Amino acid sequence: MTMLRPYGFLVLGLLLTCSHGSNPPAALAPPNSSPCGLSGDAVSSDVQTLNLGKNRDTAPSAVNLGISLPTMLQTGNDIMRFSTTDGVELEAVVYDVLVGGVETANCHATDAANRDTHIELVLDGSHTAPAQRIISEVTPRWRAAMAGAGIDWSTTSLAALKGRHVRLRGWMLYDFEHSGASENTAPGKAGNWRASAWEIHPITSITVLPNAPLDASRWNDGHPGEDESE
């Protein structure tokens, strides 16, 4: 049985301090009055549906307690392991923070403010290989909502999370466009840069935990094969 837990909002006040900010609005406006709709500029119906999931502009009202970083990292074909209707809350270590690629979900925007931010998650400092990372993403809509509450979710600001223990909340999303570069669905494939095509996307809440940060400066194996241009 899936157990669900209601929750309130916790938001991140950077640099590296936790703050309980104002609740984001129930529905968010597109970033910077952009004409880009929730389905982006995708042509095919399957990618339009995928983009609707990526661009969800409300937070989940409950989370599935059965989802954790270990369950997302569990090996084996995981296409049916979770549901895109699941809210999720989990704890992890931030491996890296990157500007996402130019993609249909954001109408091929090229400026960082209107592109996703990738937050790569790992279990600990001993499990950082590309195939041991889970991808989570801040979208332009949630970045704009947080900015309205005085909270900076720019990629530059979020980069301060590297090496930190965090608690993330958001939506589960299966990004089938990356199943061929994910260890769970393409085991052993050269160039795999993620453990799973399942993501936390969009992230709706970030909390920095009080654990001592890890030394991220020694994590230098890069991001082989990662290409988000779509």
Q: Is residue 169 domain-resident?
A: yes
pTM of the model: 0.86
Sign for the CA dihedral angle at 17, 20, 26, 31 comes to: negative
Count of structural domains, the chain: 1
Q: Is residue 16 domain-resident?
A: no
Q: Is residue 27 domain-resident?
A: no
State which residues form the domain around 198: 46-218
Q: Is residue 93 domain-resident?
A: yes
Q: Is residue 5 domain-resident?
A: no
Q: Is residue 21 domain-resident?
A: no
Residue 44 Cα to chain centre, angstroms: 23
At residue 34, the pLDDT reads 65
Task: Please write the tens of the pLDDT for every residue from 106-151.
Answer: 999 999 999 999 999 999 999 999 999 999 999 999 999 999 999 9
